[in-house]
Structure 1
Amino acid sequence: MIRALGLTISTLALGMLPAGAIAQDQIIRVGNLLTDAASSLSGPATIIVRDGKIVEIRRGSDAVTDADATIIDLSTKTVMPGLIDLHVHLTGDPGGDFWKETTEPTEWGVVVGAKNALITAKAGFTTVREAGSSQYSAFSLRRGTAEGIIPGPRIIAAGPALAIVGGHGDVSGFTEDVNDLLTSGYSCTGAVECAEKVRKASRAGSDIIKITATGGVLSQQGRGLDAQFTSEEMQSIADTAHSLGLKVMAHAHGARGIEAAARAGIDTIEHGTFADEAALKVMKAGGTAMVPTLMAFKGVSERLGKGIYTPVVEDKIRMTMGRVGKAVTQAKQMGVPIAFGTDAGVFDHGRNAEELQLMVDAGLTRREAIASATTVAAKTLDMENEIGRIAVGYSADLIAIDGNPLDDVRTLEKVDWVMVRGRIID
């Protein structure tokens, strides 16, 4: 018997199982079941998991027994789908001097990422979209969590972001010879070269293409937050990615950069800070989702004025602070899809669920905020038939909490138990 967090698990000690091994049958006794954000708590239930999938859901409190099964007693807890964060940076932590790029090898990102993958999963996030890393660090983490070698969430990995030369996402702040040595190899100029870099990312193993459509807050590039790629370059990126079956996510702050990215057919706008009516109209027309990352702004504001950021970065932070959340409010009013993403790594990993209350503060209902991190996020990933709800045939991505998140989304800031792909995160 293993007793942890007051939850009784009748099974072999998890550490004795081979890496990636899952018990044949797992019987999960649930006190209150929330199958998806559109439903209500439905009382006691039993979930039966086999080989990482949900194979049966039985309503009611009648005990289900099987001598050969693992029994997981969550009869005092609310069980709901695992959460999905569409914008994280597992391989990095907040703060730190930008010059460390010259002293830390890319392999160190895998070490940091393994730590943060576990923290993120324990916070209730069972799927994440890694929104930019060195060439193979996120791909290594993706494989490690998929095979059960590293405890953590399912990872949808972008790899290095496409950027303009000298723009946000490219290396800057050093002398040119150092910039050239540190570059990721994914900056591009012109439609043809940008198409080539998309194909290069696809060949390397990217699940999604990340681009920096506008200037950014935390880079040493100090030329504002407006559009950087041309419309022709973004169109080329979107068309090439879609021809390869890949979606595109665009870091974008300035309104005209957001509008151009959406018009090009880019699938999600990350941040969307200065989105105006014209930009949001184009987003709605094309079905482009907004991923607001409100926690990023909270995270950087907590470190403002403490000598953590350079003066050029502090100036850009102050440029954004009066706009945080306003685009979310307007996007909801205009019917633009809003999907959950935090930019974890800009703030401390594990605080991801604090984004939910910020979304509610910006005008979403509690149910809409939870949907953004479950069913809406799953649909954004084209994985709505696999994750985002508790249903037969879906991945066994489950979390247990106290209370009802439909009454208070802050209950999701303390998760007591997590299962990813049928594996308990301990």
Structure 2
Amino acid sequence: MGKLSALALAIGASLSGLALAAPGGAEGPGTLVIHAGAVIAVPGETSLGPSTVVVRGGRIAEIRPGHVDVDGAHVIDLKDRTLLPGLIDTHVHFSFSPETKLWSAAIDTPEDVALFAFSNAKKTLEAGFTTVRDVGSDGYSIHALRDAINDGIVTGPRIFLSGTSLSIVGGHGDMSGLNRKATEALYPYDYTGACTGAVECALRVREAAKYGADLIKITSTGGIMSQQARGLGQHLSDEELTSIVTTAHGLGLKVAAHAHGGAGVAASVRAGVDSIEHGTWLDEDTAKLMAARGTWLVPTLGLLDGRKDGDASPEVRAKMAEARRVAGRNIQLAVRYKVKFAFGTDAGVSPHGQNARQFRLMVEQGPMTPMAALRSATVDAAALLDRSADLGTIEVGKYADMIAVEGDPARDISVLERVSTVIKDGRIVTHDRR
């Protein structure tokens, strides 16, 4: 069964009736045959016409032209639909949502958080996102959820996680907005991931690796949603950034850097981080440097999507207004200078399950072609995860992660907001039989 915490086992037992069941027994180990009207096997390349995709053992075994019968197989009829790879969101936070309060930690147990995270993961999977990168969820509930999904105890998207973000004391990622007594009781120093100096920051990286992180997430600058008015400039020093990156890379882990302000973005790129998350005030010089170094941009245009300013503090409202003035400029610079970018929504700050709304924003604000936007959530996102051998396209040998939509996303990207069928690891998660 693998190394699962007692919490994961408890969740699995309590949710055995809630885990997403495959219809018609198609979730079993037998052969699954998909008759598709069209297949976007590799987004950005020529699509296939009517095709048969054969799945065995959770992986794609064959792709044949036309609609071919296979003896003894379970058949799913998608002759009027477009089949494409399962989507990947590289920036989510399953442990909270826009409705989560600062004081939630005073009443929520780890079990509460795990159940809440499971609910958010379920919404995300049903929306067509079969793989995610969770870049900043408190505690170890997300670790338990990841392991339970991997071991088949519950059904959810494939999760790659960082655990708690690393930050400066009092920075974005370290708790603020509560009085000192409440902060110290609910968010002790060693729980938040705060660190000072190169040595302690390296220690935090090693601790994250020790307890099962798949990558390291840092907050190089202030944050828009932080309950403070400290600005969005550089937080971690150059020395601290270099220590984190060197230590993480030595352990085989990538570093994702939350960075809004231009100085913090540039410092993170110089230090060698693997991806810039947000990059709101990205400038031309830094975009050129990112392109030269191969640094990824995860633009998270959903950060402000659907946010109600009236619910935020005056400090947060001011930062949101500043960010809205430059919204989309990072995408424009990435397109212009050929910066590698991957799809990421900041779901948790924005609503879970509505991840696909960002595709329209990318096309509108880029300008970016619909297929380039789709590619960022498939081929490119898989490359950022170093999982191109298994994810991102519909090809023989890869995981059978696929979705179906009515219409052609190359012509209308909004069809991705209405996914009719979701298949993960060859198991049918949802299927609209109409």
Q: TM-score, normalised by structure 1?
A: 0.92
Conservation of the 8 A alpha-carbon contact between 1:88 and 1:343: yes
Equivalent in the alignment of 2:303: 296
Q: Give, in whole Å, the separation in 1 of the partners of 2:416 and 2:116.
A: 24
Conservation of the 8 A alpha-carbon contact between 2:226 and 2:316: yes
The structure-2 alpha-carbon separation of the partners of 1:176 and 1:421, relative to structure 1 and needing over 3 Å to count, comes to same
Conservation of the 8 A alpha-carbon contact between 1:360 and 1:369: yes
Q: Give, in whole Å, the separation in 2 of the partners of 1:97 and 1:388.
A: 35
Select which of 231, 246, 250 maps to 2:238.
231
Select which of 104, 108, 118 maps to 2:108.
104
The structure-2 alpha-carbon separation of the partners of 1:365 and 1:245, relative to structure 1 and needing over 3 Å to count, comes to same
Q: TM-score, normalised by structure 2?
A: 0.90
Q: Give, in whole Å, the separation in 2 of the partners of 1:229 and 1:197.
A: 13
Equivalent in the alignment of 1:8: none
Quote how far apart the aligned CAs of 1:101 are. Answer: 2.8
- 1:80-99 Cα shifts (integer Å, max 9, x gaps): 10110000111211134322
Equivalent in the alignment of 2:361: 358
Are 2:218 and 1:218 equivalent residues in the alignment?
no
Conservation of the 8 A alpha-carbon contact between 2:172 and 2:219: yes
Equivalent in the alignment of 1:172: 176
Are 2:332 and 1:311 equivalent residues in the alignment?
no
DSSP-derived class of the 1:333 partner:
helix
Conservation of the 8 A alpha-carbon contact between 2:306 and 2:350: yes
Conservation of the 8 A alpha-carbon contact between 1:166 and 1:221: no
Q: Give, in whole Å, the separation in 2 of the partners of 1:423 and 1:141.
A: 19
Are 2:131 and 1:127 equivalent residues in the alignment?
yes
How large is the RMSD of aligned CA atoms in angstroms? 1.6
Select which of 28, 34, 39 maps to 2:34.
28
Equivalent in the alignment of 2:18: none
- 1:381-407 Cα shifts (integer Å, max 9, x gaps): 111111000000000000011011011
Conservation of the 8 A alpha-carbon contact between 1:339 and 1:373: yes
- 1:271-304 Cα shifts (integer Å, max 9, x gaps): 100011122122122111110000111232xx11
Are 2:49 and 1:43 equivalent residues in the alignment?
yes
Conservation of the 8 A alpha-carbon contact between 1:208 and 1:246: yes
Conservation of the 8 A alpha-carbon contact between 2:258 and 2:276: yes
The structure-2 alpha-carbon separation of the partners of 1:413 and 1:382, relative to structure 1 and needing over 3 Å to count, comes to same
Quote how far apart the aligned CAs of 1:186 are. Answer: 1.4
Conservation of the 8 A alpha-carbon contact between 1:213 and 1:250: yes
Equivalent in the alignment of 1:205: 212
Which amino acid is the alignment partner of residue 360 of structure 2? Q
Select which of 326, 329, 333 maps to 1:326.
329
- 1:177-202 Cα shifts (integer Å, max 9, x gaps): 32223132411000110001000000
Equivalent in the alignment of 1:54: 60
Equivalent in the alignment of 1:64: 69
Consecutive aligned runs of 4 or more in structure 1 exceeding 3 Å deviation: 13-17
Q: Give, in whole Å, the separation in 2 of the partners of 1:140 and 1:423.
A: 22
Q: State the identity %.
A: 44
Which amino acid is the alignment partner of residue 323 of structure 1? V
Conservation of the 8 A alpha-carbon contact between 1:274 and 1:323: yes
Equivalent in the alignment of 2:285: 278
Q: Give, in whole Å, the separation in 1 of the partners of 2:396 and 2:288.
A: 37
Q: Give, in whole Å, the separation in 2 of the partners of 1:393 and 1:299.
A: 39
Q: Please, which runs of 5 or more residues in structure 1 have no aligned partner?
A: 1-12
Quote how far apart the aligned CAs of 1:317 are. Answer: 1.2
Conservation of the 8 A alpha-carbon contact between 1:136 and 1:159: yes
Structure 1 window deviating more from structure 2 (164-173 vs 273-282): it is 273-282
Conservation of the 8 A alpha-carbon contact between 1:124 and 1:399: yes
Which amino acid is the alignment partner of residue 143 of structure 2? F
Are 2:388 and 1:384 equivalent residues in the alignment?
yes
DSSP-derived class of the 2:132 partner:
strand
Q: Give, in whole Å, the separation in 1 of the partners of 2:349 and 2:424.
A: 24
Q: Give, in whole Å, the separation in 1 of the partners of 2:283 and 2:131.
A: 30
Equivalent in the alignment of 1:3: none
Quote how far apart the aligned CAs of 1:314 are. Answer: 1.5
Conservation of the 8 A alpha-carbon contact between 1:29 and 1:47: yes
Select which of 337, 343, 346 maps to 1:343.
346
Q: Give, in whole Å, the separation in 1 of the partners of 2:299 and 2:400.
A: 27
Q: Give, in whole Å, the separation in 1 of the partners of 2:22 and 2:361.
A: 36
Which amino acid is the alignment partner of residue 280 of structure 1? A
Equivalent in the alignment of 1:265: 272
Q: Give, in whole Å, the separation in 1 of the partners of 2:78 and 2:153.
A: 26
Conservation of the 8 A alpha-carbon contact between 1:30 and 1:76: yes
The structure-2 alpha-carbon separation of the partners of 1:221 and 1:249, relative to structure 1 and needing over 3 Å to count, comes to same
Which amino acid is the alignment partner of residue 80 of structure 2? T
Equivalent in the alignment of 1:117: 121
Structure 1 window deviating more from structure 2 (91-100 vs 369-378): it is 91-100
Q: Give, in whole Å, the separation in 1 of the partners of 2:28 and 2:122.
A: 18
Q: Give, in whole Å, the separation in 2 of the partners of 1:325 and 1:405.
A: 21
Which amino acid is the alignment partner of residue 221 of structure 2? T
Conservation of the 8 A alpha-carbon contact between 2:22 and 2:427: no
Conservation of the 8 A alpha-carbon contact between 1:23 and 1:70: no
DSSP-derived class of the 1:31 partner:
strand
Q: Give, in whole Å, the separation in 2 of the partners of 1:327 and 1:316.
A: 17
Q: Please, which runs of 5 or more residues in structure 2 have no aligned partner?
A: 1-20
DSSP-derived class of the 1:298 partner:
coil
